[in-house]
Amino acid sequence: MATLKALVVDDASFVRDLVKRTLRQRFPVIETTDAQNGRRAQSLMSRTTFDLILCDWEMPEMSGLELLQWMRKQPQYEKVPFIMITSRGDKDHVVEAVREGVSEYLGKPFSPDGLSKKIIKVMGRKLKDVMDRSGKSMEGPADAFKESAALLTQKRESAPAPAVPDVRPAASPLLKKGGAGGEKPPASRGAMSAASVRFADYTLKSVVKDINLTEVRVIARSDQQFPGILDQAVVDIEVAEDQMARLNGYVQQLQAVDKRQDTDFVSVTIRFVDEDPKKMEELSRFIARFRAGAR
């Protein structure tokens, strides 16, 4: 029977479902409630006291940072763990979140193990005691409690800052004439635009083949590691000079570019799940530039 309560906040229902599924499977003593934005989360938190908040940064109506700032001013939430789950990993944003009282920072896309470790780290002995009393065992990293043991004896202000994930897009070998093995990339309808598609443990270097407001199709060399269908992804696209759009999505389709079994290129379709109007505006600008290059 669940005795702890967690609130999952994200404008993408696909991401909320991933987080809730991980908690159900690995921490059955945690009951989950979800909200599609910070404003809705604020309303729920005013009526119910939660033991853990897992929240996205970029959302319409109220961002994750704004929710965190409000939360830390409420007496009942001064010390409640808050995990920011977001594709924004640049140093300035991490520092800002730490300054406002974030407990941990988890970059998208994340693995169930990565999320589980963060939850164990911030909830510590409280979670372990509840699991022990319920007779449930932890699924996942066996050493997660050992890794966080030192944190249980430290004061909050002395805890180390969360690691900063590297979200800079790498240059794609597909953009180099002839590629690594002399093969040229398949012809594109528009101007070639580099895109880094990030998964939980690796980055797929690619170029944009086609894009609209709901999905992007990229072409990648076949000698790279590839994801599975429905794997969560973050697509980094340069929408302007020194400005990146980080779009959350999942793998909808994998397909060989040609009919040969030893094809040099693979097409990957990523379905977007973001509902943030700001991200859609950035994406619209990129699409306009991309299609203009086809003329």
Asked which of 99, 129, 158 is the last residue of a domain, the reply is: 158
Same domain as 24, residue 120:
yes
Same domain as 148, residue 37:
yes
Which letter does DSSP use for residue 167 in this model?
Answer: -
The tokens describing 12, both together, are 């993408």
Rg of the chain on CA atoms, in Å: 21
Specify the pLDDT at position 145.
Answer: 44
Residue 102's closest CA among 149, 66, 142? 66
Same domain as 244, residue 112:
no
How far apart are the C-alpha atoms of 97 and 162, rounded to whole Å? 10
Asked which of 100, 127, 158 is the last residue of a domain, the reply is: 158
Read off the pLDDT of residues 264-282 as tens digits, 9 standing for 90 and up: 999 999 999 988 888 888 8
Same domain as 194, residue 144:
no
More confident of the two residues 74 and 280: 74
Q: Which residues of 60-75 are buried (b: 16+ CB within 10 A; e: fewer)?
A: bebbbbbbbebbeeee
The tokens describing 160, both together, are 């180390």
Q: Note whether residue 167 is domain-resident.
A: no
Specify the pLDDT at position 24.
Answer: 93
Read off the pLDDT of residues 104-120 as tens digits, 9 standing for 90 and up: 999 889 999 999 999 99
CA-CA-CA-CA torsion sign (64, 67, 73, 74): negative
Q: Note whether residue 232 is domain-resident.
A: yes
How far apart are the C-alpha atoms of 119 and 242, rounded to whole Å? 34
How far apart are the C-alpha atoms of 180 and 182, rounded to whole Å? 6
Q: Note whether residue 85 is domain-resident.
A: yes
Domain with residue 137: its CATH number is: 3.40.50.2300
Confidence category of residue 47, pLDDT binned at 50, 70, 90: very high
Burial of 265 (0-12, 13-18, 19+ CB in 10 A): buried
Same domain as 277, residue 180:
yes
Specify the pLDDT at position 276.
Answer: 83
Same domain as 126, residue 240:
no
Same domain as 152, residue 16:
yes
How far apart are the C-alpha atoms of 1 and 268, rounded to whole Å? 41
Same domain as 126, residue 35:
yes
Question: Looking at the predicted structure, is the pLDDT value of residue 258 above 90?
Answer: no
Q: Note whether residue 101 is domain-resident.
A: yes
Total domain count, the chain? 2
Same domain as 136, residue 9:
yes
Question: Looking at the predicted structure, is the pLDDT value of residue 19 above 90?
Answer: yes
Query: How is 231-284 classified by DSSP, letter by letter?
Result: -EEEEEEEEETTEEEEEEEEEEEEEESSS-TT-SEEEEEEEE----HHHHHHHH
Same domain as 179, residue 153:
no
Domain with residue 195: its CATH number is: 2.40.10.220
Query: What's the whole-model pTM score?
Result: 0.73
Asked which of 129, 158, 187 is the last residue of a domain, the reply is: 158
How far apart are the C-alpha atoms of 214 and 258, rounded to whole Å? 25
Residue 224's domain comprises 173-292
Four-point Cα dihedral 121, 123, 126, 127, nearest 10 = -80
Same domain as 95, residue 230:
no
Q: Note whether residue 276 is domain-resident.
A: yes
Specify the pLDDT at position 294.
Answer: 61
Confidence category of residue 2, pLDDT binned at 50, 70, 90: low
Specify the pLDDT at position 222.
Answer: 92
Specify the pLDDT at position 220.
Answer: 94
Q: Note whether residue 88 is domain-resident.
A: yes
Paired strand residues for 31: 5
- Mean pLDDT across 11-27: 93
Paired strand residues for 249: 233, 272
The tokens describing 151, both together, are 């944190």
Same domain as 152, residue 112:
yes
Question: Looking at the predicted structure, is the pLDDT value of residue 250 above 70?
Answer: yes
How far apart are the C-alpha atoms of 286 and 212, rounded to whole Å? 9
Residue 155 half-sphere exposure toward CB, CA atoms < 13 A: 2
Read off the pLDDT of residues 130-179 as tens digits, 9 standing for 90 and up: 988 888 765 544 344 444 433 333 433 334 444 444 444 444 444 443 44
Q: Note whether residue 168 is domain-resident.
A: no
Question: Looking at the predicted structure, is the pLDDT value of residue 124 above 50?
Answer: yes
Q: Note whether residue 219 is domain-resident.
A: yes
Instruction: Kindly report the average pLDDT of the chain as a whole number.
Output: 81
- Mean pLDDT across 180-193: 51
